[in-house]
Amino acid sequence: MAVAIYPGSFDPVTLGHQDIIERCSKIMDKVIVGVLRNNSKSPLFSVEERVTMLSGVIGHLPNVEIQSFDGLLVDFVRQCRGDVIVRGLRAITDFEYELQLSQTNRVIAPEVDTMFLTTNLKYSYLSSSIVKEIAMYHGDISAFLHPDIARRVREKMDGID
Ligand code: PNS
């Protein structure tokens, strides 16, 4: 059974993330979405909120699980008995960082490989950070997020105002 680990901050989950998870779930026997708890990026949503939001939009996929994790990604992969890390590649700008991440992970855990899925062209420009910035200035984020996620982001931003 092939188990993929799809790690990230998911702060918040975007339609681009959802697209990768859905496509990955068709290729792999099981997908574990790993939500990073201790994030140096100071997330807008707590890890519990991010897990709940992910469950709301991908909970219908029978072979997908959502877990939070702390510490090194490769330790999480080992703990889950994962076969491969999956990451989305949006554009050439992602490549350098993703290469660095995957090569470093291979040095510290040689048995852990990384596979890349190219992001759907519709979402190739999309990032959680940009969505948060648009929301911060009360812009329209409905094209980037599931309606329930967009509502949660707006509510969170209203609470910060
Ligand atoms: O969604 P993101 O923020 O691009 O995801 C980045 C993530 C979570 C994959 C990366 O920060 C990560 O793996 N963090 C865990 C800590 C770790 O293993 N660091 C060493 C990797 S080189």
What are the tens digits of pLDDT across the range 129-161?
Answer: 999 999 999 999 999 999 999 999 999 998 886
Nearest-CA residue for ligand 1 atom 17 is 72
pLDDT for position 39: 66
Q: Of these residues, 30, 50, 87, 90, which one is catalytic?
A: 90
> What tens digit of pLDDT does each residue of 38-92 get?
767 789 999 999 999 999 999 999 999 999 999 999 999 999 999 999 999 998 8
The amino acid that residue 32 corresponds to is I
pLDDT for position 159: 85
pTM of the full structure: 0.96
Nearest-CA residue for ligand 1 atom 2 is 8
**Do 120 and 16 contact (CB within 8 A), yes or no?**
yes
Nearest to 102 by CA among 77, 126, 122, 124: 77
The amino acid that residue 12 corresponds to is P
Return d(Cα 119, Cα 89) in angstroms, integer.
6
Active site annotation includes 30:
no
Active site annotation includes 132:
no
Active site annotation includes 23:
no
